[in-house]
Amino acid sequence: MMKNTVFAALGLLLIVSCNKDDDGPSIQPPRDRGEVQLESEANIRAYLQTHTYNYEEFETPAADFDYEIVFDTIAGSNATKTPLIDHPNLIATQYEFQDVNYTLYVLVAKEGAGAQPSFADSTYVNYQGNIVGDSKFDGTTTPIWFNLPETIFGYGNGLKELKAGTQISLNEDGTFNYGTDYGVGAVFIPSGLGYFSTARTLIPAYSDLVFRFKLYGVNQADQDNDGVPNAEEDINKNSYLYDVADDTDGDGIANFEDIDDDGDGILTRDEIDFNENGNAIRPFRDSNSDGTPDYLDPDN
């Protein structure tokens, strides 16, 4: 499964490969991110231009429709269908990550009717992961909870374009009925927003990925239980929680995992105010009125 250690490794890991002119392995540094990004963009766009999906089934779903996205090439009976790149349900969003600009392509086949997650929340999903234009490497048959900060950048920021369902109910046999109003989508992830130079089981280094998912449920996440939701711990608002900017006290622990964000010895929970329902009150307390809330200000 995707772990937060992947983020720490992105752009830093060295790849070991076999050198025919040497008796042992040689260390190959990661490739230039900008160069790889150009290759990824070309690869993903080529796929989007030559493939379509079963949008007619989503537009007029049959009673027994399973709401599965099926990609297919534009040929034969599909020759007149709209390619993914031109479909109105495809969203292209720009992100800057490790000083490189990337495009994340998200297909919203069905938006959903419930709560919409941030990139940093906890989500209840079914998913399938493939290398773009190639084989499946992972997937679920029953839904699982995913804490999005522990996934790769492209996954959480793709899933946030959907909304959860509202019709989950428990059947008499202990199984669940998820209704039909949950979100269904897919995200095309350039390798730089995925595992980049890190090879994983069934995923070669520099692989561009596509995840299809169904979003059944959402919980707002506060990983360190300090009263500040994960998404609000993204200080520089770049949809990534492991930047240096998101570690206010510089102790090597990202704010969303740090119970004392400013390192002043006072717990974050003790530097903010809560209402009678236990929710943090905004704006956050700023005792010295310097524009920095107490929980991020060691000099308050």
- pTM for the model: 0.88
Domains of the chain (ranges; CATH) run 5-219 (3.10.50.40), 226-236+246-300 (no CATH)
Identify the pLDDT of residue 286. Answer: 95
Helix H segments across the chain?
A: 5-9, 33-50, 55-59, 153-159
User: Which token pair is 294?
Assistant: 């107490």
**C-alpha–C-alpha distance, residues 84 and 47, integer Å:** 8
CA distances from 65 to 69, 95, 236, 293 (A): 11, 34, 42, 50
Phi, psi torsion values for 104, nearest 5 degrees: -105, 125
* Range 252-268 burial, b when 16+ CB lie within 10 A, else e: eebbbbbebbbebeeeb
pLDDT band at residue 241 using 50, 70 and 90 as cut-offs = very high
Angle subtended at Cα 254 by Cα 203 and Cα 40, rounded to the nearest 5 degrees? 30
pLDDT band at residue 137 using 50, 70 and 90 as cut-offs = very high
* Range 85-99 burial, b when 16+ CB lie within 10 A, else e: bebebbeeeebebbe
pLDDT at 200 over 80: yes
pLDDT band at residue 174 using 50, 70 and 90 as cut-offs = confident
Mean pLDDT, range 120-137, rounded to an integer: 97
Mean pLDDT, range 73-89, rounded to an integer: 97
